[in-house]
A = this chain, B = another copy of it.
Amino acid sequence: MNTEELIQSVRKARQASSQLALLSGRERNGMLQSFHDELMKQKKRLLEANARDLQKAGDYGLSEAMVERLTLSEKRIEEIAEGAAQLIQLPDPCGRTLKRWTLPNGLDIIRTSVPFGVIAMIYESRPNVTADAAALCLKSGNACVLRGGKEAHFTNEAMTDILHEVLRGAGVEEAAVTSILDPDRSLVHTLLTLRGLVDLVIPRGGAGLIRSVVETSTVPVIETGSGVCHTYVDKDADLAKALPVIVNAKTQRPSVCNAMETLLIHQQIAPECIASVFPALRAKGVEIRGDERVRALDPSVLPAVQEDWSTEYGALILSVSIVDSLEDAISHIRKYSTGHSECIMSENKETIRKFMNSIDAACVYANASTRFTDGFEFGFGAEIGISTQKLHVRGPVGLEPLVTYKYKIFGNGQIRE
């Protein structure tokens, strides 16, 4: 595929998008149902395609974790199908009246939610993302241009074929789901600069992938980011409450972005807090790295270096610092936060209020685990990631941010004086 062919493909996707935008919510749900059904019927075909990719995994030098993510099984395919079917239950994000008002001159203005048009998804070698991204776009009335990792080539090809069958069955042009299977990297670069043809880019994957998309794209991007999440134990904290929250935030699933990486403790409560929290964390296998004041109270703690405060460990490691005041906690967080999720443990309402208002993050918690920052936990019924930027959507990205709006304005011959 050369640049011109890519542009032609995206043009076709754009054309198909206007067809999709006119479908009813029921028709779009029908496609999700038939996608579910076809996935269940065509497991064998998907597994065969996946086996071809897995055979080549060695040539690509994939790590064990990457092979694991690439691998399909009957059970995984069923989960993917189930994911598509679950979207049917969610309310239609399109065609909602977001606001309506009438001007003194009689113009009736309706702000209505509508699909973006064409959404490009850039992701790694995870075939479930292909299915998930396409299903979210079908639900929200958007055409999609999918660019997954080359290591999933055959699986993505089979998945795309199934999606095309679904589209044909609904009388929609196949280009509504367009996969760019050619591994040439320059195609991604071109795709990311097709302003006017592509309305939105969503990168899904590791920090490197996201940064590269953000730096290249001239099309607007919804960026999902990393989390250096803090929990601050205030002098007015209830330690019996704090202990399980801290252990949960660090250890329940340490590899994800909403896990806690740094614990800040008010000096007045530090000896007591450390005495109860450190043993519990160590019992879960957590390595603790602390500043000098922490090590003065517990010499078995490893010394934290400057880099620790800005590191997303994604592992059972925790950095701990003792602070003199709420203000010190806030300024530590301001300095090192990635704007994801931050928590205060305190029983003092005024202290909580100050913390909530001063911390610049997508989610600011009082007395609960940062692990709740998640589209499903929030009740959104879907999740594309956690946005740590502030434009359009912040925090968990569900279905709602996959639509934009337009104004419909009804007049009776009004002119501007």
Contacts of A306 in B (CB 8 A): none
| Least CB distance, A244 to chain B, in whole angstroms | 5
- CB of A334 within 8 A of CB of B18, answer yes
Q: A215-B218, A241-B413, A248-B416 are in contact. Are A406 and B369 (CB under 8 A)?
A: no
Cβ contact within 8 Å between A107 and B372: yes
Q: How many residues of A contact B (CB 8 A)?
A: 66
Question: What is the CB-to-nearest-CB distance from A315 to chain B, in angstroms, rounded to a whole number?
Answer: 18
Minimal beta-carbon separation of A192 from chain B (angstroms): 12
* Interface of chain A, main secondary structure: mixed
Decide if A296 is an interface residue (CB 8 Å cutoff). no
Is there contact, CB below 8 Å, between A18 and B368? Answer: no
Q: Is A42 an interface residue (CB 8 A)?
A: no
Question: How distant is A312 from chain B, measured CB to nearest CB, in Å?
Answer: 14
Asked whether A367 and B411 contact (CB < 8 A) given A358-B18, A390-B200, the answer is: yes
Which of B220, B248, B390, B409 is in CB contact (< 8 Å) with A364?
Answer: B409
Stretch of A44-52, A67-75, A391-399 that contacts chain B:
A391-399
Q: Are A107 and B368 in contact (CB under 8 A)?
A: yes
Nearest CB of chain B from residue A212's CB, rounded to whole Å: 11
Q: Which residues of B contact A57 (CB under 8 A)?
A: none
Contact surface of A with B, Cβ cutoff 8 Å: 18, 21-22, 101, 103, 107, 109, 114, 116-117, 195, 199-200, 214-215, 218, 220-222, 238, 241, 244-245, 247-249, 252, 334, 352, 356-358, 360-369, 371-372, 377-379, 389-392, 394-395, 404-416
